[in-house]
Amino acid sequence: MSNDSAVEQVQAGIGWVPVPVFTGGIVDGIVSGDGRGDGTARLYATHTSVNTLKEFTFDGSWTNTTNISLPFVSYGALLLTDGRGDGSEHLYVEEFLLGGNTLEFTWDGVSWTPLALGAAGQQLIGAAVGDARGDGVKRVYSSGGFGVIEFTHQ
């Protein structure tokens, strides 16, 4: 199996059967969930080859795809979670090269709106969201070449 495609693994009684979801370039981060808040689960993947975040909606096949343009290269770190603690799911994607930016994408009912959380000044390759301080506040954590950065929504 090459690492230039997203593959669905379907349980077929005696094992797992790979079903191609997308082929055509390097795909790194991948998450699934109800990112639009409309009750429909979707698959999200960073298409690193063309700096795009792909949103796949299964409607009998995986051809229903939305492309969300990224202003940078992202390897690996992709989250779909309520990072603000506001009850809504948001997509978080991180920049691997240059300034190490983290973007939060929010579905506004029509399109995905990006918000820059800030630049970490390092290559980012890992991310987490949670109440790591134990104070009831969710925060976004980014990790990379120089350590861990914490972002708090104000």
* pLDDT tens-place string over residues 63-80: 889 999 888 777 767 889
Instruction: Name the domain count of the chain.
Output: 1
Low-confidence ranges of the chain (pLDDT < 70): 1-13, 76, 98, 120, 122-124
| pTM over cut 0.85 | no
Of the chain, the end-to-end C-alpha distance in Å amounts to 43
Residue linked to tokens 């973007």:
103
Q: Domain range spanning residue 51?
A: 5-152
